[in-house]
Structure 1
Amino acid sequence: MTSGFHVHGPHDHEVEHAVEHGARGMTGQLAVITALLATIGAIFSYLGGATQADAGLAKNNAAIRTTEASDQWNFYQAKNARQSIAEVALDIVPAERRDAYAKNIEKYKADKEPIMAKAKELEEEAKKFEEESEHLMHQHHRWAEATTVIQVSIALAAIALLTRRRWLEWGTLGVAGVGIAIGIAAFLKV
């Protein structure tokens, strides 16, 4: 049997007020700030991962071009060795066969030039891919730094909410500002 008498707990009035009037004050502000920071952090994290993948791809392309250049240099050396053998043979074969060896020497000389040019071109491409990879990894590190600072600001927001310390809320915003600035630097590739 109920007497109609009901005792409210100390926080019941605040809970009813928050439900009726929405979350206000520090709690509501920190909830919105945390949601925004989590979204920004997720975006920074995605961009960091994408940049890291691009850096890996550029590094892979550099390795492929380096291998192709090495193949070209090996081909060049093979032509060079054949030319050297033909030059030695030119001195020891009978005079009637010297024309064939002289033609081979000229052919090998002519064959080597485009091979060397291709090898140098591939080395240059490998160098460009290597530089691109290094640049992208620098950008990736910026995204990772921005993400980490944003995560720290989210943790500060939780501490501010639990301790009800207004200065921690301001600290949250300050740290978040630093994280966003680092993210902007990453976006601008600084």
Structure 2
Amino acid sequence: MSGHGFHVHGPHDHEVEHAAHGSDGFSSKIAVTTAILATIGALFGYQAGDTQNNAALFKNNAAIKKTEASNQWNYYQAKSNKQNLAELAMTLPNVDVDKYKSEVDRYKKEKADIKADAEKLEAVSLDWDKKSDDQMHQHHRWAQAMTAEQIAISLAAITLLTRKKWLEYASYGLAGVGVALGIAAWLHL
């Protein structure tokens, strides 16, 4: 619409406007249905975005924990190298074997602690990965539900233009599929 009193809108807008001001029951019913479907679709769209953001956040957390685990494994490797050098030093002539033996024992204990920490971090990383995968699955369900609602809205618009009853029923059917997919997403199915 321009500022000079001339306005242009699409056929669907035209039909909705006339339905709001007229007494055409069919058009009024389709207009209300379209508004309801748009609201449901918006809710599904919000949920789809939220679950996608959660999936990305969880994947980021998994990567952080995986990096921390990798750092622990590098630390473990450094202790292994020191242990190997101490074991090698014990075989050299004229060295204090007991000194190097105690170092080897110390490195073995330190490595066991480091290994336990690394394995815990890897388990946490895997848990975050699983949470991310679950959120992405739920995101896909919400997105499917939203898409079904958008298509149902498009069919409702075509129904207004053509006044075909079968399109009205197709719109309702597809809206029902969208709601079922939304329920599946909500139930984490």
The TM-score range, normalised by the shorter chain, is: 0.7 to 0.9
CA-to-aligned-CA distance 1:137-176 (integer Å, 9 cap, x gap): 1110111111101000000000000111122112111110
1:92 partner SS: coil
Q: Which moved more, 1:36-45 or 1:56-65?
A: 56-65
Distance 1:94 1:164, change over 3 A: same
After the TM superposition, which segments of 4 or more aligned residues of structure 1 sit over 3 Å from their partners? 15-19
Distance 1:17 1:26, change over 3 A: closer
CA-to-aligned-CA distance 1:22-63 (integer Å, 9 cap, x gap): 644111101110000000000000000000000011111111
Matched, 1:59 2:48: no
Q: Distance in 1 between matches of 2:73 and 2:20?
A: 75
Structure 2 gap segments, 5+ residues each: 1-16
CA RMSD of aligned residues (A): 1.8
Contact kept, 8 Å, 2:145 with 2:182, in 1: the verdict is yes
Structure 1 gap segments, 5+ residues each: 1-14
Indicate the residue corresponding to 2:72 in structure 1: 72
Contact kept, 8 Å, 2:156 with 2:167, in 1: the verdict is yes
Please show how residues 142-181 of structure 1 align to structure 2 within 5 Å. 142-181=141-180
CA-to-aligned-CA distance 1:101-147 (integer Å, 9 cap, x gap): 11111111111111000000111111111111111111101111111
Q: Distance in 1 between matches of 2:19 and 2:77?
A: 85
Q: Which moved more, 1:46-55 or 1:24-33?
A: 24-33
Please show how residues 1-190 of structure 1 align to structure 2 within 5 Å. 19=21, 23-95=23-95, 97-190=96-189
Q: Distance in 2 between matches of 1:70 and 1:183?
A: 39
Deviation of 1:18 (Å):
6.8
Aligned residues: 173
Deviation of 1:98 (Å):
2.2
Contact kept, 8 Å, 2:41 with 2:150, in 1: the verdict is yes
Q: Normalising by structure 2, what TM-score?
A: 0.86
Larger Rg: 1
Percent of aligned positions with the same letter in both sequences?
50
